A and B are shown apart, each in its own frame.
Chain A
Amino acid sequence: MKKAALILVSLALTLAVSCAAPYRGAVEYAMGAEVTQTVWGAGEDCLKAAFDAIAALEEDVSYRKDGGVALLNSGKTVNGGDAYGIIVKSVELWRETGGAYDITVLPLVRAWGFDSGEPHIPAASELASALAITGGENIIFGADGIRLANGAQIDLSAAGKGAACQKAVETYKARGASGGVVTVGGSVGVFGTKNGSPFRIAVRSPFDPADAIAVLTLTDTYVSTSGSYEKRFFADGAEYHHLLDPSTGYPVHNGLISVTVVCGDGALSDMLSSACFCMGMEKSLPLLEKYSASALFVREDGAVFVTKELAPYVECESYEVLP
């Protein structure tokens, strides 16, 4: 009896001690979104350093700040920096997608009022003049760096949150953490493990923000989602959302309601989710393959489709695996 009691007690204690307690940071704000961080095997200064890295990135990539993107939008030439790297990747993706992914959409975003929080249907003339200066060809690579031609304006918000996740994860790695999760808005970065087990990332249901439509079990990767349910408004009996088609200037309408992309590069996971939403499921598959990325698509009717690489890591009530 004595032995049994001893064994029970020591078992309980070992269980409690062997788990490195996670350190969970307070919710902070950057890139216009909530930032949450949890690390295993590291503490507060690790989270602080990671947040500082995100804040520094925001300075360079947000058109609202005074860094690289703001300089470009004011007509200057930029060479190097975080924004520079993302723009190079963006132009490549613009070519790959035949223009479906385009960072020169800022005039369109402004015309629709999605940057102000008071979205509205733009006047036809306003939309036409915004469309006229939209296009990746307006990003000019010169000997001294990048500049914008034709009055084009760029917006990296479809890449920034994913890039921010990568900044945080790089900090966790450098500081010797054993695991970490960072979320910046709808983008998530996972690194290492939590006491040996992988992370469980919920994909928010487009139909109920309090609910998950699927759960992904992942480690050492980045996840981003583009959903038309995020920012939308109703006008004249129709629904409009913030994911604009750069070729028409209007919200994309192809039956998709949300696309989640899993990719080893933070910015790319974010960029690809926007690109795939715009291109639709079929055309996205070769693109995803080229970037070694996988995806989960949710259709407006609630049907879920998953690429075959991702299928083993998906928990979902019912879904179809794509070829």
Chain B
Amino acid sequence: MKTKLFKKADLFIALAVLITGIAALLLISLSQGGGRTAVVEYRGETVKVIDLDSVKEEYTFTVKGDLEVVIEVSPQGIRFLSSPCPDKRCVEFGLLNKKGQVAVCMPAGVSVRIAGEGEYDGVTG
């Protein structure tokens, strides 16, 4: 049987995929409070958690993953500043400042994401 360009079922497939994606994004950004926390992970292990709302001055730090990457934190957000990886895709992600955003350096195994209300509900000390 010949396969046509478009059938009614296609609409449902496309809508299901699209709506799942949009709903997931909305859940991430809406269901959480106003705070922004940057979570830096290396192969699934949390390396650093930064409360972006309390950052007042720009600073950088290095993460020793499979490669050593430099991450910059500023009141505006967080980004991969430099990485010795060949494709520099992590740097291309640019500044992350909205909940749900992710940047990944695959060769280093390091990821940075903006969590919504934060990994923590409060901090003592």
Contacts and interface: CB of A to CB of B under 8 A. Distances in A.
A202 B15 contact: no
A120 to B, nearest CB: 25
Contacts of B48: 210-211
Interface residues of A, number: 45
Contacts of B51: 210
A21 B117 CA distance: 11
Contacts of A15: 23, 27
Contacts of A230: 125
Interface residues of B, number: 29
A199 B122 contact: yes
Interface string B21-38: 001101100111111000
Contacts of A68: none
Contact of A225 (B12, B31, B33, B124): B124
Interface stretch (A4-12, A70-78, A128-136, A143-151): A4-12
Interface stretch (A107-115, A170-178, A187-195, A306-314): A187-195
B77 to A, nearest CB: 15
A246 interface: no
A166 to B, nearest CB: 14
17 contacts: A5-B13, A5-B16, A16-B27, A22-B33, A22-B117, A23-B33, A38-B117, A183-B123, A186-B124, A201-B120, A202-B119, A203-B123, A203-B124, A204-B123, A210-B51, A212-B123, A216-B124
Q: Looking at chain B's contact residues, is the secondary structure mostly helix, strand, loop, or mixed?
A: mixed
A16 B26 contact: yes
Nearest to B119: A200
Given A199-B121, A201-B122, A9 B23 contact: yes
Given A2-B12, A8-B20, A200 B120 contact: yes
A181 interface: yes
A187 B35 CA distance: 19
Contacts of B31: 16, 19, 21
A202 B49 contact: yes
Nearest to B20: A8
A73 to B, nearest CB: 29
Contacts of B5: none
Contact of A223 (B32, B34, B124): B124
A283 B16 CA distance: 62
Given A9-B23, A211-B48, A24 B35 contact: yes
A5 B48 CA distance: 38
Contacts of A23: 33
Contact of A24 (B27, B34, B123): B34
